[in-house]
Structure 1
Amino acid sequence: MTHYRFEALDDSGQKEQGTLEADSPRQARTMLRSRGLSPIRVRVESMVAGTGLGHWTQRRFSGRERVLILRQLAVLLGGGVPLDEALAGVAAEADREGVRHRLLKVRAEVVAGSPLAQALGQFPRDFPSLYPALVAAGEKSGRLAWVLERLADYAAAQDHLSGKVLGALAYPIVLMGVATTIVLFLMGSVVPQVVGVFASNHQTLPILTRVLIFLSEGIRHWGIWGLAGMGVLAWGGVHLWRKPALRLRWDRHVLGWPLVGRLVLSYDTERLASTLAILVGGGVPLLSALQGAAQAVHNRALRQALLEALERVREGSGLARALEVSMLFPRTLMQLIQAGERTGRLDDLLTQAARHEGQQLERRLMLLTTLLEPALILVMGGLVGLIVLAILMPIMDLNQMVQ
């Protein structure tokens, strides 16, 4: 059942407003007429008001939730279950109230006569433009169950890819956080207590120890202002980051970085190839497929190059030649697209390109983490070693004076 907000007139012409639960807008109007009311407007109530769960119902679908929804729908439709019953069944199996509520809203739109693609399009945060486009092609061709299965495979692959990237970077980030915490603790708490003993004796301290004391005093007395300054810088950085022109220049610059640039290129090329493959294979026209694939690419420079290629394709150019003009995309991708255009197997060869770039991404991730982990350990060990050395040097000088 879905919550609807209505406006209606009673027998005396007075306007009434309220909410009710129904399976579809049509059923909601029928229920109002049975009460002796003439409906003026019936619309789906907002998610927050309908569920009372606020922020948590608005949280977008996770990758796992999206895969599960698509897979269940594909199985049910493939087994001959009507679409509205399939949606109701999947909603009943949902673990989270927000997921259940949105699926029931999709079902209500379908029961009211809307195509599934149009119903999914009302939730762009949960189902990006790729999903409604491919579902529309599946509905048109009568292969909706097959399309949903392909979409489930695609969503699972993208979720797996994102998980690999996050998993590979998690350890270095945690290590960096631990190292920073240890250094700040030593500088702000341990160092003042130990080194202060030597300073009170008016002992001439080594330069390294004096630098350490200076930094420690700065952290203790000005640390809060330093954090405030970092907060202001972070706010300014976020504000600047929202400017498209700056983001575009930054993303173009990132592509030129050693190792990291190749990593970003492999990640977005895999997303581009796999998205194009599923759209073209599902019968979506090439221009629409390119538009959808551009939304799957994160790097702004690559996305702009893809949109420029779309215009060249619209003017009659081949896809491989249109992409080649930017000189940003891997040569292997160009060659496979050329072969696909010649043989009429573009979706198959795009799938091969996505698989190849996925393997390249894994190899580069492994190389990056292999280099990062020992480098971070060396930096952390070096900083702690310098702090310990700065503490020990006055002790060694004192021992020499005693001898």
Structure 2
Amino acid sequence: MAVFRYEALSAQGKTTKGSMEADSARAARNQLRMQGMTPIAVEEVSRQAKQGKRRSAFERELSHREVVLFTRQLASLLQARLALAQALAALVEQAEKPLIRERINSIRSEVTSGTPLSQALGHYPKAFPEMYVATVAAGENTGDLGGVLAKLADALEARQALQQKVSAAFIYPAIVTVVAVLVVVGLLTYVVPQVVSVFENTNQALPTLTVVMIAISDFLRAWGWLLALALVAASYAFRSALQNKAFKLKFDEAVLGVPVLGPFVRAVNTARLASTLSILVGSGVPILKALAAANRTLGNTALRLAMVDVQERVKEGRALSKAMGKSGLFPPVLTHLVASGEATGQLAAMLERASDSQRTEVERKAMWLTSLMEPVLILVMGLIVLLIVLAVMMPIIEVNQLIQ
């Protein structure tokens, strides 16, 4: 049986969308009519995937959390000696969201028709990237699909936990920055004009700092909307420029050269690279194919280009550790552990250790960055507020001195 996505009119005239299993599109239409609905469109889900049908930009795909949960549950069922089709059927029954149920239904339909699981997952590259599919294919080839999926679930969970820790570490500085900007804008556009307006009818010469603050306040009140539009346009132009490969490469190279940010970005990408290579090599994927799949997990173009050079050197017969060390972009701890793994024949274990080391380094650097940013933000905010207060108070102090 195949899975069909349908759109139909109910007896009350409302449009209903969903998915169902049937032997054919005609059988699916008959089932809809038996349920009192009039079919508008019925199409096989797996056929959409095979034909690469373009989905709507607003159509949601499985989230990373949902993929991790699917992987963990499928690994547990397979390790409990359930057949693959039975395990997928059980996951369909457990799925709470229609999208998850539809995706697993489609995958199960292809598996029952003889398609390998890796190939069925490959029809949804946004949810299941190349690394995921290659790992599943390796599990199928070795006959230990449940064990490979369990290792894959562990790695995905560790990556998700790291991402959550890093995101949580930068939430507080981001909130402080937004609040600081709003407070400063409020002071300049409302408080400063209200206080300084008292001195407008006097012939008193205002201090230079007060004059500057009044000019900034007048500019924000008159042209603040234009400044906001300019910032939005600059942000859009920058994002568009990042689509250019040459600009993106130069920008990523510059990021790696920034004293504090560069090592952090390098550690994040290295942890992801080592984790992916560990899973693929440990699952029996050939090293060249593992390197190609792991390269696509890197978010920095400069590191990705360096990995392409590493692939070429390995293809020529050089050791992976020497190829990585030649680039000079990867941390020494990674190259040393890879060299140790090559010498002892435990490359996967050493890559996993390197991944753990870099993950710890990312957490440490994230905490250090946030601990550094918090006092800097407070000092900058305090300095700006102090200047605004001085700009307001200096004319008042001069008036008091004249009266005395």
> Could you say whether these structures have the same fold, taking a TM-score greater than 0.5 normalized by the shorter chain as the test?
yes
Give the whole-Å Cα distance in 2 for the aligned partners of 1:90 and 1:201. Answer: 79
* Alignment partner, residue 52 of structure 2: none
Deviation at 1:282, TM superposition (A): 0.6
* Worse-superposed segment, 138-147 or 357-366: 357-366
Preserved CA contact (<8 Å) 1:274 1:350: yes
Contact 1:63 1:156 in 2 (8 A): no
Q: Secondary structure at the match of 1:296?
A: coil
Amino acid at match of 2:339: Q
Instruction: Show the counterpart of 1:368.
Output: 369
Does residue 29 of structure 2 align to residue 28 of structure 1?
no
Q: Describe how 1:196-275 pairs up with structure 2 within 5 A.
A: 196-275=197-276
Partner of 2:73: 72
- Which amino acid counterpart does residue 262 of structure 1 have in structure 2? P
Please say if residues 268 and 358 of structure 2, whose CA atoms lie closer than 8 Å, have aligned partners that are also in contact.
yes
Q: Distance in 1 between matches of 2:379 and 2:340?
A: 47
Q: Distance in 1 between matches of 2:242 and 2:167?
A: 21
Contact map agreement 1:179 1:380 (CA 8 A) in 2: yes
| Distance in 1 separating the partners of 2:298 and 2:380 | 34
Cross-structure match for 1:307: 308
Contact 1:4 1:28 survives alignment (8 Å): no
What one-letter code is carried by the residue in structure 1 that aligns with 2:366? L
CA distance in 1, matches of 2:371, 2:269: 22
Distance 1:30 1:59 in 2: 28
In structure 2, the residue corresponding to 1:127 is in which secondary structure? coil
TM-score (structure 1 length as normaliser): 0.88
Q: Does the CA contact (< 8 Å) of 2:25 and 2:44 recur in 1?
A: no
**Structure 1 portions without partners, runs of 5+:** 6-18, 36-40, 48-52
Give the deviation of 1:227 after TM superposition: 1.4
Normalising by structure 2, we get a TM-score of 0.88
Q: Distance in 2 between matches of 1:94 and 1:318?
A: 45
Structure 1 residue 102: deviation in Å? 1.5
For residues 376 and 61 of structure 1, what CA distance do their matches in structure 2 show? 37
Contact 2:75 2:146 in 1 (8 A): yes
**Please, which runs of 5 or more residues in structure 2 have no aligned partner?**
7-16, 32-41, 50-54
Instruction: State the number of aligned residues.
Output: 377
Question: 1:348: which partner in 2?
Answer: 349
Report deviation, 1:21.
6.3
Structure 1 residue 66: deviation in Å?
1.6
Q: Which residue of 1 aligns with 2:35?
A: none
1:169 aligns with 2:170: yes
CA drift at 1:88:
2.5
The equivalences for 1:92-131 within 5 A come to 92-131=93-132
Give runs of aligned pairs for residues 176-191 of structure 1, distance below 5 A.
176-191=177-192
Residue 391 of structure 1 corresponds to which residue in structure 2?
Answer: 392
8 Å contact 1:22–1:28 — kept in the other structure? no
CA RMSD of aligned residues (A): 2.4
Shift of 1:402: 1.1
Tell me the SS of whatever aligns to 2:327.
coil
8 Å Cα contact 1:206/1:393 also seen in 2: yes
Relative to structure 1, is the Cα distance of residues 28 and 390 closer, same or farther in structure 2, using a 3 angstrom cutoff? same
Aligned residue in 2 for 1:10: none
Corresponding residue number in structure 2 for 1:193: 194
Determine if contact 2:4/2:43 at 8 Å carries over to the other structure: no
Deviation at 1:4, TM superposition (A): 5.4
Q: Could you tell me whether the CA contact under 8 Å between 2:19 and 2:102 is conserved in 1?
A: no
Contact 2:3/2:44 (8 A) holds in 1:
no
Alignment partners' CA distance in 1, 2:19 and 2:237: 46
Measured in 2, the distance between the counterparts of 1:361 and 1:85 equals 40
Q: Which digits, 9 at most, give the CA deviation of each residue in 1:330-379, with x for residues without a partner?
A: 11111111111111100001111111111111221121111110000100
Give the conservation status (yes or no) of the 8 Å contact 1:294–1:306: yes
Distance (whole Å) between structure 1 residues aligned to residue 85 and residue 376 of structure 2: 56
Letter in 2 for 1:288: K
Measure the CA separation in 1 of the matches of 2:371 and 2:144. Answer: 45
Whether the aligned pair in 2 keeps the contact of 1:23 and 1:111 (CA below 8 Å) is: no
Q: CA deviation at 1:179?
A: 0.3
Distance 1:335 1:21 in 2: 52
